[in-house]
Structure 1
Amino acid sequence: MPTPEFILELRKHVGNAPLWVPGVTAIVLKEVPADAPIWQVPEVLLVKRADNGQWTPVTGIVDPGEEPHVAAVREVKEETGVDVTPVALLGVGQVGPVEYPNGDVTNYVDTAMRCSLVDGGNQDPFVADAESSHVGFFPISQLPPMQPRFRLIIADAAAQLKHPGGFRPRMGYSKRN
């Protein structure tokens, strides 16, 4: 999905000036079965962005009046065709500033969450919109190159999955608080 209409309307008034925009990052993990070999690790759903060729988890903008967890479910479905349910808050942090080729500047207040696959994970992801050129599951031990904050959040998702009672959501993406 291209830039949401509400952002385009705001840009008519503020031009390229910095905007604070609510965002979500959905870390979709395919869990390891209990009887799997000890060396098997969870797999994470990633998309290769069509605009810059970077691999990322599913990310998106929260629409006005939309809850972040609802936006995460929507974004995963829109980008990969996969149905998920949010299961854990991983953290909240600031991302940016991001300057786009047209000169727009945006800072994101990002809510990251771990999501699980609906129906036991028997869904095959596919490129469901023009935002991505590829989608797929990757073992968390064999991730393609990506921004450090995404590796950090994926590691948090794996830690939360393994030890949910002892996990504390991250407050900011630059350090553990």
Structure 2
Amino acid sequence: MPTPDYVLSMRSCIGHAPLFLAGVTAIVVRDGRILLGRRSDNGALTPPTGIVDPGEEPADAAVRETLEETGVRVRAERLAWVHQIPRVTYPNGDECDYLGLVFRCEWIEGDPHPADGELTDVGWYDLDGLPELELADMRRRIDLALGADLPTRFEGGTAPA
């Protein structure tokens, strides 16, 4: 998973200091199944994820990341969850704060496969028998996206006193 050039450019100015980025997760549903793959960096089973490029609409980023990682074309249906992910510190010392945007997406076409090397063993998983997901909030992302009539979930929302 190569680091985008614009992130490398910012890192050249700020070093390892915390960098704020917007991240997307695409919860792709088709016939009672969900699209998941194993991350090549840590082996965790996850939906497609990635970061929003400069000037890119977040829903477009979810669609793009899904196509890049799995070869599957989707349409973003709704924003399910907006939340701040706890600070991530990478092995090289880089720190990132991610605003997480979770989208429910509809399958349009394509058979899943590891398209760019970011995911391995990509496929459809039955919603009724999902295996344990290694990353803490991935199940919550899925559950909030599956609630068809639920409004978007926003964390926080109260101003400081």
TM-score, structure 1 length as denominator? 0.83
- Residue identity opposite 1:101 in structure 2: P
Q: CA deviation at 1:141?
A: 2.2
Distance across 2 between alignment mates of 1:154 and 1:77: 19
Q: Which runs of 5+ in 2 are unaligned?
A: 157-161
Distance across 2 between alignment mates of 1:8 and 1:148: 28
Q: Mean alpha-carbon deviation: is it higher for 97-106 or for 1-10?
A: 1-10
2:22 maps to: 22
Secondary structure of residue in 1 paired with 2:22: strand
2:50 maps to: 60
Distance across 2 between alignment mates of 1:104 and 1:144: 31
Q: Which runs of 5+ in 1 are unaligned?
A: 32-41
Q: CA deviation at 1:87?
A: 0.5
Whether the 8 Å contact between 1:61 and 1:71 is mirrored in structure 2 is yes
The superposition leaves residues 127-175 of structure 1 with CA deviations (integer Å, 9 ceiling, x where unpaired) of: 0012112211111222222223111121122222xxx3xx1111139xx
Number of residue pairs the alignment of both structures matches: 155
- Residue identity opposite 1:155 in structure 2: D
2:129 maps to: 142
- Residue identity opposite 2:131 in structure 1: P
2:81 maps to: 91
Large movers: runs of 4+ above 4 Å: none
2:12 maps to: 12
Q: Mean alpha-carbon deviation: is it higher for 63-72 or for 1-10?
A: 1-10
Residue 78, structure 1, aligned to residue 65, structure 2: no
Percentage identity across paired residues of the two chains: 45
TM-score, structure 2 length as denominator? 0.91
The superposition leaves residues 82-113 of structure 1 with CA deviations (integer Å, 9 ceiling, x where unpaired) of: 00000111011111211111111111001111
Residue 169, structure 1, aligned to residue 157, structure 2: no
Distance across 1 between alignment mates of 2:24 and 2:70: 15
- Residue identity opposite 2:81 in structure 1: G
Residue 45, structure 1, aligned to residue 28, structure 2: no
Q: CA deviation at 1:21?
A: 0.4
Q: Mean alpha-carbon deviation: is it higher for 131-140 or for 50-59?
A: 131-140
The RMSD of aligned alpha carbons is: 1.4
More strand by share: 2
Secondary structure of residue in 2 paired with 1:148: coil
2:159 maps to: none
Secondary structure of residue in 1 paired with 2:147: helix
1:39 maps to: none
